């Protein structure tokens, strides 16, 4: 998966997670709040993975002289 794909999926998971948490708060549904938090954290991890891939590519480009 490309870094951009990771970042996009991460943003989507964070957004859906936040919505789930909001609905869970509004309906006092602890399970939905927990699912939302877990999905938000998954999205954050995906975005971080994308950032790491970008950083690794940048370093590799510098080493090979492509930067």
- pLDDT tens, the chain, 67 aa long: 899 999 999 999 999 999 999 999 999 999 999 999 999 999 999 999 999 999 998 898 888 887 6
Question: Sign of torsion, CA 52 53 57 60?
Answer: positive
CB within 8 Å of 41: residues ≥ 6 apart: 17
Residue 29 CA, chain-centre distance (Å), reads 24
pLDDT at 67: 62
> Which residues have CB under 8 Å from 28's CB, separation 6+?
none
H helices of 1-67, in order, are 3-27, 30-64
Domain map (residue ranges) of the chain? 3-64
- What's the pLDDT score for residue 46? 97
């Amino acid at each position: 998966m490309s870094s951009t794909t990771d970042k996009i999926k991460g943003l989507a998971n964070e957004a859906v997670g936040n919505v789930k948490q909001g609905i869970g708060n509004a309906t006092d549904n602890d399970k939905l709040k927990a699912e939302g938090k877990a999905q938000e954290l998954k999205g954050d991890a995906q975005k971080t993975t994308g950032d790491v891939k970008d950083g690794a590519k940048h370093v590799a480009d510098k080493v090979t002289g492509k930067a």
